Amino acid sequence: MKHVNLLILDDKEENIVSLSALLSEVEHIHIISSTDPNEALKICWKNDIAIALVDVQMPEINGFEFVSLLKSNPKTNHIMAIMVTAISKEDKYLLKGLESGAVDYLYKPLNPEITIAKVSSFVSQIHIQEEIKQKNIALEESQRQLILAKEEAEEARKSKESFLANMSHEIRTPINGIVGIIHILRNTSLNDEQRDWINRLDSASNSLLLIINDILDISKIDSGMMRIEYENFSIHKKLTDINNFFKIKALDKHITFETIIDPQLPEYIKSSPIRIQQIIDNFISNALKFTKEGKITLKASVVEQEDAQCTIKFTVTDTGIGIKSEALEKIFLAFEQGDDSITKKYGGTGLGLAIVKRLADLLDGKIEAESTYGVGSTFSFQATFQKIDDFKQQETLDTETIPSLHKFDHVRILVAEDNELNSFMLEHILKSWGCEVDVAKNGHIAIEYVNQYDYDLIMMDTHMPVMSGFEAIQEIKTHPNPQKASTPIITISASVLEHEQAAAYEAGADSVIGKPFDPIDLYQKIDKLISKRV
Ligand code: ADP
């Protein structure tokens, strides 16, 4: 234990000697003494004195004045002063000492036991204080570390976000090119073998896109960037769409697929149709993947119904390979699959169920899995939804029912896109719809074109060298010529991040299209914007 410096101030040397002798029994103290208050003050300034035993009656500066001086100096005001006095124990003296800042009194003639006990108690108080001080320092340090770690985590989150945005752009851009070229090739005359190649290419690029979407989804959820968008929708229609889609896929594998809907199921609910579909799609895709024969059943049952709320359980049951009980616990973890043999035989990233679990949490729902190895599995998602009684669903254009795309008449479009494959593909698609097309490789060139020619529409990539799409949009939208400033602009955003898409609208874009995009979707957007203009 650290020694505590104790000062004895008494104008009589013999008092110092006797008090020092008495205190020799107290452990962990180092005694310094003086007969002169001025010298004692200097000692207190220069040494780390913790306790001072101060004689009250002294010529020049008395004990009370000395303690007041100690207390008035920030360098010495921490010193515990104990007055040593021979004068009466009257309250007024006691008060005077306490007012000057003393913590206690010792009365002459000194009682050895009381003196030792008091000083020992102050020494241990000082040790405790020292310990608290050290702990405070450690606490402050760990607090500093925590703030630092928080800042680092924030920094990491930000770089993850920009990495996501960049990766999203870098990967989606070439895929956009591939998907577009596939679309162009499909519309050329092909023999059966070539059509088969195109189908394979199409399916490969779709799988690639699914994997990228999964990686982006899990990163978005884990960095808190996944926003659930709630809307009113028909749950019946959603289930019918899912049923129609997977029935065909199941048929290809000679598996029966059926959907059972509880008659109690409300027509409309408020939730995120995209995320609900993502969860159910995932269950069914897995069921299809791991089932060779038999049946897959999608069931939607009402668990509880109360006024405006309804708890619905969506269950997918299959007669597939099943999951061993030890693997069942792991499959909801990211990058985990049943076992290694599954990876070898069936492929996959092990991300699907991890995403499903996180999405269910975001929707305040729960996921359950039961399985009998070799017999089959059941996966379910249960959540409580708000029922919607009266809701007119917006008529959405069903792309499959569009009879044929009519050609645009005298429409001139500027494509600002730095990626050659993409601009080539866009130019080709737009020309096939009868448009006249100019291509600019960056925002700066795009502005020059806009100054020179009149366009009916501009398609603008967001990330471009020299001048970004955002800057170019802002410049066009504030063009001195009102005709040019009102040219509709569709930004081509490869980002899946909502805030980037929002930034495009903020910059002045009239519409946003993702990468890769569905050509029909693009056609509809152009058609809408152009017809508004005329
Ligand atoms: P992956 O994309 O690799 O299939 P998932 O997260 O979707 O990843 O699934 C994780 C693992 O859970 C799979 O690798 C498989 O072992 C197991 N699994 C999921 N669904 C089923 C199912 N219906 N039948 C058998 N095993 C399944």
341 Cα to the center of ligand 1, angstroms:
12
Cβ 287 vs Cβ 249: under 8 Å: no
Domain contains 124? no
Report the separation in Å between the CA atom of 237 and the middle of ligand 1, taken as the mean of its atom positions. 27
- Indicate whether 510 and 409 sit together in one domain: yes
Residue 155 falls inside a structural domain = no
Q: How far is the CA of 179 from the centre of ligand 1 (A)?
A: 28
Regarding whether 352 and 441 lie in a shared domain, the answer is: no
Could you tell me the two tokens for 257?
């697929």
CATH number of the domain within which 67 lies? 3.40.50.2300
Domain termination residue (choose one: 197, 222, 247): 222
Backbone angles phi and psi of 298, in degrees to 5: -105, 125
Instruction: Assign residue 315 the CATH number of its domain.
Output: 3.30.565.10
Determine the structural domain holding residue 271 and report its residue range: 231-388
Model pLDDT for residues 155-183, shown as the tens digit of each residue: 887 787 777 767 777 787 788 888 888 88
Which atom of ligand 1 is found nearest the CA of 322?
25
- Please list every protein residue whose CB sits less than 6 Å from any atom of ligand 1: 286-287, 290, 318, 320-323, 331, 337-338, 342, 348-354, 377
Domain match, 246 and 374 both = yes
Number of other CB atoms surrounding residue 98 within 10 Å: 14
Question: Is the domain of 237 the same as that of 366?
Answer: yes
Q: How far apart are CA 522 and CA 486, in angstroms?
A: 20
Nearest CA to ligand 1 atom 15: 338
Which H or E element spans position 153?
helix 112-186
Ligand 1 centroid distance, CA of 303 (Å): 26
The reply to whether 67 and 96 lie within a common domain is yes
Instruction: Please tell me the residue having the least CA distance from ligand 1 atom 14.
Output: 337
Instruction: Assess whether 235 and 171 both reside in one domain.
Output: no
Pocket test for ligand 1, best of 257, 279, 286, 379 (most atoms within 8 A of CB): 286
Would you say residue 218 lies in a domain?
yes
Which atom of ligand 1 is nearest the CA belonging to 316?
Answer: 23
> Could you tell me if 105 and 170 lie in one domain?
no
To test the pocket of ligand 1, the residue of 215, 279, 319, 337 to mutate (highest count of ligand atoms within 8 Å of its CB) is 337
Answer yes or no: is 430 within a domain. Answer: yes
| DSSP H/E element including 135 | helix 112-186
Confidence at residue 26, expressed as pLDDT on a 0 to 100 scale: 92
Taking each continuous run of H as one helix and of E as one strand, the counts in the chain are 17, 17
pTM: 0.57
Number of domains in the chain: 4
**Spacing, Cα 258 to ligand 1 middle (Å):** 21
CA distances from 49 to 34, 43, 79 (A): 13, 8, 6
- 394: in domain: no
Q: Which atom of ligand 1 is nearest to the CA of 282?
A: 7
Do 426 and 379 belong to one domain? no
pLDDT of residue 344: 63
> Does one domain contain both 314 and 424?
no
> SS3 for 166?
helix
Task: Give the residue whose CA is nearest to atom 1 of ligand 1.
Answer: 350
In-domain check, residue 418: yes
* 420 and 353 both lie in a single domain: no
**What residue ranges in 28-92 does DSSP mark as E strands?**
29-34, 49-55, 80-85
- 345 alpha carbon to ligand 1 midpoint, in Å? 12
Q: Are 43 and 84 in contact (CB under 8 A)?
A: no
Distance in Å, CA 283 to ligand 1 centroid: 9
203, 222, 241 - which closes a domain: 222
335 and 415 in a common domain = no
DSSP 473-519: HHHHHT-SSHHHHT--EEEEE----HHHHHHHHHHT-SEEEESS--H
| pLDDT, one tens digit for every residue, the chain (534 residues) | 789 999 999 999 999 999 999 999 899 999 999 999 999 999 999 999 999 999 998 988 899 999 999 999 999 999 999 999 887 666 777 777 788 888 888 888 889 999 999 999 999 999 998 899 999 999 999 999 999 999 998 888 778 777 776 777 778 778 888 888 888 888 888 898 888 888 888 888 887 887 787 777 777 787 777 778 888 999 999 999 899 989 988 998 999 999 999 999 999 999 999 899 999 999 999 999 999 999 999 999 999 998 889 999 999 999 999 999 888 888 887 666 666 666 666 767 778 898 999 999 999 999 999 999 999 999 999 999 999 886 665 444 444 444 467 888 888 999 998 888 888 888 988 998 999 999 998 888 999 999 999 999 999 988 777 778 888 898 899 989 888 888 999 998 776 566 677 888 888 889 888 877 778 888 989 988 888 765
Select from 205, 222, 239 the last residue of a domain. 222
Residue 246 lies in a domain: yes
Q: What are the backbone angles phi and psi of residue 414, rounded to the nearest 5°?
A: -105, 125
Per the domain annotation, does 72 fall within a domain? yes
Q: How remote is the CA of residue 198 from the centroid of ligand 1, in Å?
A: 29
pLDDT at 402: 41
Alpha helices per DSSP H over 232-339: 235-252, 273-289, 325-328
Q: Which helix (H) or strand (E) holds 296?
A: strand 295-306
Tell me, yes or no, whether 366 and 464 share the same domain.
no
Task: Return d(Cα 110, Cα 105) in angstroms, integer.
Answer: 11
